[in-house]
């Protein structure tokens, strides 16, 4: 079974600084999808960034980028120029495929990010 591990329960960053959130996963598959989701307090979970395992290039979305190390099964999220609105719980998630039961998300335990003004 696939597992996703986020070992840091909490992190803090100064506004405008850069922070990296760590995630490791375990799978025997060669093709899969990885995600970072953001869950603000009392708000719905939203997608931050996705990475397809077959793509060597790391995904980027504005201030958010990932460091995908397939061999090491590592998938970290870097947030640059941190803003107060980035404060939230962040979840790393794995999806085995696109169809049927393969499309479900397996989540890590999450990390609470606080941003200091």
Residues 7, 25: Cα–Cα separation, whole Å: 11
Residue 19 in contact with other proteins, rule: CB under 8 A: no
Smallest distance, other proteins to C-beta of residue 98, A: 4
Residues 116, 15: Cα–Cα separation, whole Å: 6
Q: Which of 50, 63, 70, 78 binds other proteins (CB under 8 A)?
A: 50
Residues 76, 65: Cα–Cα separation, whole Å: 8
Residues 36, 108: Cα–Cα separation, whole Å: 10
Residue 7 in contact with other proteins, rule: CB under 8 A: no
Residues in touch with other proteins (CB under 8 A):
4, 6, 33, 35, 37, 42-47, 50, 52, 91, 93, 98-101, 103-110
């Amino acid at each position: 079974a696939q597992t996703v591990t986020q070992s840091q329960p909490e992190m803090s960053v100064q506004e405008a600084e850069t922070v990296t959130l760590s995630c490791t996963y375990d799978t025997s598959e060669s093709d899969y999808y990885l995600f970072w989701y953001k869950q603000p307090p009392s708000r719905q979970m939203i997608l931050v960034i996705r990475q397809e395992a077959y793509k060597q290039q790391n995904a980027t979305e504005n201030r958010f980028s990932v460091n995908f190390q397939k061999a090491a099964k590592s998938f970290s999220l870097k947030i640059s120029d941190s803003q107060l609105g980035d404060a939230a719980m962040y979840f790393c998630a794995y999806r085995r495929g696109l169809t049927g039961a393969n499309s479900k998300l397996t989540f890590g335990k999450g990390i609470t990010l606080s941003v200091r003004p």
